[in-house]
Amino acid sequence: MEQIITYILLALMLIFSVMTVTSGRILRSAVYLLTVLVATAAIYFIMQYQFLAAVQITLYAGGIVVLIIFSILLTHHIEHRMENPVFWKAMISALAALGAVAMIAWVLKDAQSIQNVAGFIPPKMEDIGMALLSYGKQGYVLPFEVISVLLLAAMIGAIAVAKPALLQFKNKNFKQDDQ
Amino acid sequence: MNADYILLFFLTGILMVAGGMIMAYMISPKSENKQKRETYESGIPTIGKTWVQFKVGYYLFAILFLIFDVETVFIFPWAVAMKKVGMTAFVEILIFFVILGIGLLYAWKKNALEWE
């Protein structure tokens, strides 16, 4: 049962991944990508990594896709349809993709599934929380607090970069309106 | 065990969407005219293309949303372990919140939350 569902999900991921890169319309690509990310979350659920699945859905399916869709909607020519690439470019891309597959296969050839390791218990969310909050050995409280500083820096950076650009955009539009 | 839930969600999702469409197809009265095909039926006729460029202002909100989204991810495990750890956990998350609160204050002060 579990295996069948896993294979269905993997097939879905493969199909939608291919559709993401082959679709000529960029907004559709973003939606196909969303499907791939949600299917990945489902795979995590099956592997009993609940926290990872929740992160996958909130951050990737929720946050990153929203960001991608916004960036697409901000571009000038959304309706623009991508032409099919010329043959030699497609060949080079295929070669690069094959190289990546070969590299991953080479890394994974000795690895065994973590589920097969004796005494494997999937990590519970509580354990992750305990590790995040403990300040003893194997505790991650300092990284946890430093993350908030990182997020603060990201926020300030985003505002510092985007705000002048926003004002510029506004002024440009006003000028256009005057003409 | 988890796979069964995934299957359940999958089937429910398909059933909800397909069921709604099939029901609508079966029981709805059918009439076809040009006006029906408009974006807003009986509304104002749309002018120009649908594919317009959106305002840049949305992007800043998207980034701010993403940052607080990342913050939420760290609150999930905290909330689960909070009861066990007790007061220490509370102080730790308080520091976390205060540092991010400064970010929110900065955004507020710089009028980044203002819609213009």
What is the C-alpha separation between B100 and B112, in angstroms, rounded? 15
Tens-place pLDDT, residues A101-127: 999 999 888 877 666 666 677 778 888
Q: Is the pLDDT of residue A73 over 90?
A: no
Of the candidates A63, A135, A148, the beta carbon closest to that of B100 is on: A148
pLDDT, position A117: 66
Structural domain boundaries in chain B: 2-109
Supply the range of the domain harboring residue A17. Answer: 1-80
Tens-place pLDDT, residues B23-51: 999 998 887 787 777 777 777 877 877 77
Query: For all residues of chain A together, what is the average pLDDT?
Result: 84
Q: Are residues A130 and A67 in the same domain?
A: no
Residue A48, helix vs strand vs coil: coil
> What architecture does CATH give domain B2-109?
Up-down Bundle (1.20)
* Residue bearing tokens 């709805």: B28
Tens-place pLDDT, residues A125-160: 888 888 888 887 778 888 888 999 999 999 898 888
Instruction: Give buried/exposed letters for A29-55 (b at 16+ CB in 10 A, else e).
Output: bbebbbbbbbbbbbbbbbbbbbbbbbb
Looking at CA atoms only, how far is residue A91 from chain B in angstroms?
33
A149 touches chain B (CB under 8 A): yes
Contacts of A58 in chain B (CB under 8 A): 69, 72-73
Q: Are residues A74 and A6 in the same domain?
A: yes
Question: Which own/partner contact pairs does B46-54 have at CB distance under 8 Å and 24+ positions apart?
Answer: B49/A79, B51/A78, B51/A79, B53/A73, B53/A74, B53/A75, B53/A76, B53/A78, B54/A70, B54/A73, B54/A74
Contact residues, A window 66-95, toward B, CB-based 8 Å cutoff: 66-67, 70-71, 73-76, 78-79
Interface predicted TM-score (ipTM) of this complex, two decimals: 0.74
